[in-house]
Amino acid sequence: MKQKETSLNTRLINGLTVEEIGDEHIGTSYETPLREDAFDLDDELKIELIQKHFKEIMQILGLDLTDDSLSGTPERVAKMYVKEVFSGLNPKNKPEVKLFDNKYDYNQMLVEKDITVFSNCEHHFVPIIGKAHVAYISSGQVIGLSKINRIVQYFAKRPQVQERLTVQIGNELKSILQTEDVAVLVDAEHLCVSSRGIQDTTSSTVTSFYSGKFDQDETRKEFLSYVYNK
């Protein structure tokens, strides 16, 4: 067998090189793959280290870091990674959720639709942009509406694959609301598909999570009618 020319492509994933896998997006688990020591370093140290490494990437690309427009970029990127776009990796940033008694005895589904999703694809570190639609049927307690948005945002602020994002939101809501009756639909554009690679700017990816009553055709249809009938 011909030897690979570059050492960069020799790490095997499921017996394939990164080049052979290409743009196939494989997710390995519904848990975000984090190491045990993920939070041994505090945010400030992470920012300092990422800044150093990002500067190196820019230097390798040949950019002049003494240029006024570029000199602050490593620091900006490092802060943005740790404090914003990947802040959902850290469980301490998980939104605190208060539940309220379902005083109105509202026993139909509640749908929170068109929740803005900004995430990043973990295979290319470029944005995933879309909408999430979430529904649940109360088992006696209800959640403040904006908390649903916050839960979506928390899991979106990680390097993600869309399937995992969808399941993580669904499982979290099931556990918080103590109900099986939860539905999540995510419809999103992946910039790794639209801005590079195949460069398809019209396709979007839809993923869903249905549990409890939403496994039944009728309930699911009702949910989808709220989501898609504008």
Catalytic: 123? yes
| Residue 3 Cβ vs Zn ion, minimum distance, rounded to whole Å | 28
Instruction: Specify the DSSP element, H or E, that contains 135.
Output: strand 127-137
Residue of 215, 138, 121, 218 lying closest to 176 (CA atoms): 138
Closer residue to Zn ion in complex, CB, 183/192: 192
From the number of C-beta atoms within 10 Å of its C-beta (0-12, 13-18, 19+), residue 153 rates as buried
Contacts 24+ apart (CB under 8 A), 1-10: none
Stretch that binds Zn ion, among 12-20, 94-102, 157-165, 184-192 (CB under 5 A): 184-192
Q: Which of 85, 111, 115, 121 binds Zn ion (CB under 5 A)?
A: 121
Distance CA 7, CA 5 (A): 7
Choose, from 153, 160, 162, 168, the residue flagged as catalytic: 162
Stretch that binds Zn ion, among 6-14, 96-104, 120-128, 161-169 (CB under 5 A): 120-128
Catalytic: 122? yes
Q: Is 169 in the site for Zn ion (CB under 5 A)?
A: no
CA distances from 121 to 26, 76, 137, 191 (A): 11, 20, 31, 8
Residue sitting closest to Zn ion (CB):
192
Catalytic: 216? no
Choose, from 75, 112, 122, 180, the residue flagged as catalytic: 122
Catalytic: 25? no
Q: Which of 132, 143, 185, 192 binds Zn ion (CB under 5 A)?
A: 192
Q: Report helix, strand or coil for 7.
A: helix
Q: Which region, left, alpha or beta, applies to residue 53 given φ > 0 means left and ψ of -120 to 50 means alpha? A: alpha
Q: Which of residues 61-100 bind Zn ion (CB under 5 A)?
A: none
Stretch that binds Zn ion, among 10-18, 82-90, 116-124, 172-180 (CB under 5 A): 116-124
Catalytic: 59? no
Structural contact between residues 134 and 169, judged by C-beta atoms closer than 8 angstroms: yes
Catalytic: 192? yes
Catalytic: 190? yes
Instruction: State the residues that interact with Zn ion by CB under 5 A.
Output: 121, 123-124, 192
State the catalytic residues: 121-124, 162, 190, 192
